[in-house]
């Protein structure tokens, strides 16, 4: 039923966005942002006779079919996420602006939620928020357990940030969104950092943007934890030694979790989770750094065992 609701919401957003984009001669993404705003305001915005009267009427009919009350916050997140994937296709959006897949975001949210003690509210920061899929997934997990404090997302692309803002409003996430480069803006202190780190190319290898990781690590509170989505070869490149040397000046490397190769269509796009903890407070280097791989989803026996071992490891932090 949940998937059906997500697809239902997506279909309306998609039809309305296509209709508006054609009428305004705009990109699909720009139209999607306006449509989401119309859904939130429950009104079709018309300025200087745009959209045309005929299209405005058709949009009103389409959007009247959306009853926000029947969708969960996560269904709204997923519906907008599907519409953004459509925008990536239609507008030919560059790869650096693709959203974090749910298969990865779900595990990040699970890890963060498991680390938060009952009754404690934590501040979350995403220095590369994009359209907010990863940050929203984590925020919704914590919000459901009344553990969510301040939420901050940083993004250099103002169009993506606009979609994130309206998406968060629709999901009832009270977030502080900052337009700018995470390497240059002042980042607020956070208990947890979650981020899908952009890749940079070094000759024949691909690595994570170390400057963003460094800036985000500095924003962590003492003993705060960061979960970074990084290329799976994070410790196998020619820059590994320099990267680790710089990293461990501020944080402990506590774990690296790779995803099964079958998770990705292209092996070169394979990702891993890098889990680090800021020096200070109760933090210390774990006796056994977690080096694990998420089993394929079809592995009915290995997957539950992976989560048992993951839960046990989290208790050692």
pLDDT reported for residue 263: 75
Domain boundaries, the chain: 2-93, 97-314
pLDDT reported for residue 47: 87
2-93 has CATH 1.10.150.470 classification: yes
Q: What superfamily in CATH does domain 97-314 come from?
A: Vaccinia Virus protein VP39 (3.40.50.150)
H-type helices in 259-315, by residue range? 302-314
Distance separating alpha carbons of residues 52 and 64, to the nearest angstrom: 18
CATH topology identical between 2-93 and 97-314: no
pLDDT averaged per 10 residues, the chain (length 317): 86 96 95 96 89 94 91 95 94 79 94 95 97 96 95 96 97 96 95 89 58 94 97 71 82 93 73 95 93 81 89 93
Distance separating alpha carbons of residues 25 and 190, to the nearest angstrom: 41
Distance separating alpha carbons of residues 317 and 192, to the nearest angstrom: 14
The pairing of beta strand 290-294 with beta strand 251-259: parallel
Decide if 310 contacts 292 (C-beta within 8 A). yes
pLDDT reported for residue 96: 64
Query: Residue for token digits 């409003």?
Result: 169
pLDDT reported for residue 266: 72
């Amino acid at each position: 039923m949940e998937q059906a609701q997500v697809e239902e919401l997506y279909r309306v957003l998609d039809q309305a966005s296509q209709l508006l984009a054609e009428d305004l001669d705009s990109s699909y993404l720009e139209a999607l942002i306006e449509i989401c705003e119309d859904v939130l305001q429950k009104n079709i915005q018309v300025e200087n006779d745009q959209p045309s009267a005929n299209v405005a009427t058709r949009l009103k009919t389409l959007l009247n079919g959306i009853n926000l009350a029947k969708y969960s916050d996560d269904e709204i997140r997923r519906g907008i996420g599907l519409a953004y994937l459509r925008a990536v296709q239609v507008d030919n959006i560059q790869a650096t602006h693709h959203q974090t897949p749910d298969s990865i975001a779900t595990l990040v949210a699970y890890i963060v939620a498991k680390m938060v003690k009952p009754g404690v509210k934590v501040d979350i920061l995403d220095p590369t928020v994009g359209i907010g899929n990863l940050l929203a997934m984590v925020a919704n997990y914590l919000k459901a357990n009344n553990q969510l404090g301040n939420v901050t997302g940083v993004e250099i692309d103002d169009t993506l940030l606009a979609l994130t803002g309206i998406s968060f409003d629709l999901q009832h996430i009270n977030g502080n969104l900052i337009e700018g480069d995470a390497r240059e803006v002042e980042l607020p202190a956070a208990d947890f950092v979650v981020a899908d780190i952009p890749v940079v190319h070094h000759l024949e290898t691909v690595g994570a943007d170390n400057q963003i990781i460094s800036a985000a690590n500095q924003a962590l509170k003492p003993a705060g934890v960061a979960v970074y989505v990084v290329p799976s070869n994070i410790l196998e490149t020619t820059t590994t030694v320099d990267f680790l040397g710089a990293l461990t000046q501020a944080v402990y490397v506590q774990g690296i979790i790779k995803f099964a190769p079958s998770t990705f269509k292209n092996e070169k796009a394979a990702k891993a989770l890098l889990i680090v903890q800021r020096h200070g407070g109760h933090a210390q280097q774990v006796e056994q750094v977690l080096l694990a791989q998420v089993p394929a989803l079809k592995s009915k026996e290995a997957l539950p065992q992976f989560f048992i071992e993951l839960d046990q490891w989290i208790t050692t932090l």
